[in-house]
Amino acid sequence: MPQDKANVDVPLMSHAEQLRALEAKFAGKYTVLDVNQIKVDADKFAVVKDRVGEKFLREHRVLPLFEADGKLYVAMVDPTDIWVIDNISQQTGMNVESVVALLADLEQVLNSLLVSEIIPDLPDLDNEDLSQIPQSPYDLDSLAPKRDVLGTPPAKGRRVKH
């Protein structure tokens, strides 16, 4: 898998300087995007992820962004990786247009999107009847220490020191 060695995080450069460096490198050839400022089409992201797989997106550092003008726009670390672009095109049946993004930004947005799919929105419990929440099937009291460090049972109201 070819990786663009020039597109790595350089801690001595600000985020804006890193983006400008990429713009200079790819001037006129590829669009450089700050993916933190782009609204990713969640439905399109889900479709692409389902077709190419989460592992593929992570390994090849590809972030499906949105569809416009009949093209699927994807942010990549290496927008010249034709194999990755062709693979996405074949799996989705769409024409793919690649844009450039900083590695750290791409991974951060990709991770946040993938995690949000795993962890559903939690219900608002502010005004809920907490008795409706399922109880743990485990007897948590059985896990509490029965004796303190010296081997004597703790007295009522006395904390066990460890």
Q: What percent of the chain has pLDDT over 70?
A: 64
With bands split at pLDDT 50, 70 and 90, how would you rate the model's confidence at 1? very low
**Fold type of domain 15-118:** GMP Synthetase; Chain A, domain 3 (3.30.300)
Asked whether the whole model's pTM tops 0.85, one would answer: no
CA angle 56, 109, 119 (to 5 degrees): 85
Contacts of 7 (CB under 8 A, 6+ apart): 22, 77, 78, 100, 102, 103
Q: What is the pLDDT of residues 76-119, one digit of tens each?
A: 999 999 999 999 999 999 999 999 999 999 999 998 888 765 55
With bands split at pLDDT 50, 70 and 90, how would you rate the model's confidence at 13? confident
DSSP letter assigned to residue 149? T
Q: Give domain limits for the chain.
A: 15-118
The pLDDT of residue 48 is above 90 = yes
Helices 42-52 and 82-92 cross at an angle (nearest 10°) of: 100
The pLDDT of residue 135 is above 80 = no
